[in-house]
Structure 1
Amino acid sequence: MTSTPASTPTLRTERLLLERYTPEDEEGFVALFQDTRVSRWMGDGTASEADDRALFGRIFTKVYAEQRFDVWAVRRDGRLVGHAEIKPTDEVAGHEIIYALAPEAWGSGLGLELARAIVAHGFDTLELSEVHATVAAPNTASLALLEKMGFEHVRDITEDDGSTTRVLTCVQESLDEIRDDTARK
């Protein structure tokens, strides 16, 4: 229903704080996006440092200023540990989630916690009926995480370089079932 947020809200999970970036986050943002272990799964892969700095600037001059979509700095214990977005995209004709965590945050369940928060925001605040994700086929960790959340594989995209990107979709009912299962445990 609503596709343009009034302003990016602050979200909290058990261990994470998702909030708007501040100009002081630039070095941490660039470090995250320059880490090839992270950026290899983002967009077209690792960009130049100058491009990542320009991207960070556009978060303020375009995304926040024009209220295009929600973009968050992901913090744990006050430290920037990741990046998250939910935005409309023509690739899936709907809203797509994007998330990344620094390698030191991997393997502790934070990815699932983060993805659940973004998807819940999409359903509860943006009033979406479905949320999508696009994931490089070799990114088995993200594919498993999304499957655990109730995302289902709907199609593949063959990229210009011959690689495969998987398109996954989660409908509101799937997340409700996941929430119910979690509450019972």
Structure 2
Amino acid sequence: MTTPVLHTERLTFRPYRPEDEDVFVELLRDEEVCRWMGQERVPEADIRTLFRAILTEVYPKRRFDVWGLWQDDAFIGHAEVKKTGNVDGHELIAALAPPYWGRGLGTEVVRGLLRHAADNLGLKEAYGMVGADNAPSLAMCRRLGFRHVRDVTGDDGAVTKLLVISTTDPQ
């Protein structure tokens, strides 16, 4: 199955196209986005290599689903559903550009990913990894019905919350 285009009330989840490279790079070079995703800023060249791998490896080999998030004609973020190495299951990943924070779009993205996980992938549950310091994202996850599984401590000592939610009964 190829990565489908998804729609929510305000958003379109669209597989990346070659012309999306610059907005993808801009998002993943943003210091605030990197901080909340629990990763260091990496060189632009590495992000460009990652983007090209999405187009040449991920999509053709159907490794996992990955999208650019669009509100009308504006690129607002990134989303994925893929197997996670932390547990036997699939992880939901979402990153919004800072100008779009605090508008309920994160909740809309996660609900769209949950619907896709249930309807198109047949998953009964999905996982999320949220930094212990990311209070807004943790609050959103609680509102959606995610449950805490365990804390994961990285090599750098940073704590990430491993969360799980049923895809058949999301709030």
Same fold (TM over 0.5): yes
DSSP 3-state at the match of 1:32: helix
Runs of 4+ displaced beyond 2 Å:
41-45
Please state if 1:90 is matched with 2:69: no
Partner residue, 1:182: none
Which SS does the other structure have where 1:39 is aligned?
helix
The corresponding residue for 1:72 is 67
Is 1:42 aligned with 2:33? no
Deviation at 1:42, TM superposition (A): 2.4
Q: SS of 1:41's equivalent?
A: helix
Where does residue 160 of structure 1 map in the other structure?
A: 155
Once residues 26 and 109 of structure 1 are traced to their aligned partners in structure 2, the CA distance between those partners, rounded to angstroms, is: 26
SS at match of 1:84: strand
Aligned Cα root-mean-square deviation (Å): 1.0
The one-letter code of the counterpart of 1:124 is D
Q: Identify the residue that residue 171 of structure 1 maps to in structure 2.
A: 166
Kindly tell me the number of residue pairs found equivalent between the two proteins. Answer: 171
Using the alignment, how far apart are the partners of 1:74 and 1:91 within structure 2?
A: 25
The answer to whether residue 136 in structure 2 is matched with residue 141 in structure 1 is yes
Mapping 1:8-157, distance limit 5 Å: 8-157=3-152
Contact in 1 for aligned 2:117/2:167 (Cα 8 Å): no
Q: Distance in 2 between matches of 1:60 and 1:173?
A: 31
TM-score, L = length of structure 1: 0.89
Unaligned residue ranges in structure 2 (runs of 5+): none
Tell me the alpha carbon deviations over residues 51-109 of structure 1, each in whole angstroms, 9 at most, x when there is no partner. Answer: 11111011011110101110001001111110000001121211000001111111111
Alpha-carbon distance in 1 for matches of 2:148, 2:76: 28
TM-score by length of 2: 0.96
Taking the aligned partners of 1:45 and 1:146, their CA distance within structure 2 comes to 23
Q: Which runs of 5+ in 1 are unaligned?
A: 1-5, 179-185
SS of equivalent residue, structure 2 residue 36:
coil
What is the percentage of aligned positions where both structures have the same residue? Answer: 48
Q: Note the C-alpha offset of 1:41.
A: 2.2
- For 1:64 and 1:138, the matched residues in 2 are separated by 33
Query: Which residue identity does 2:83 align to in structure 1?
Result: P
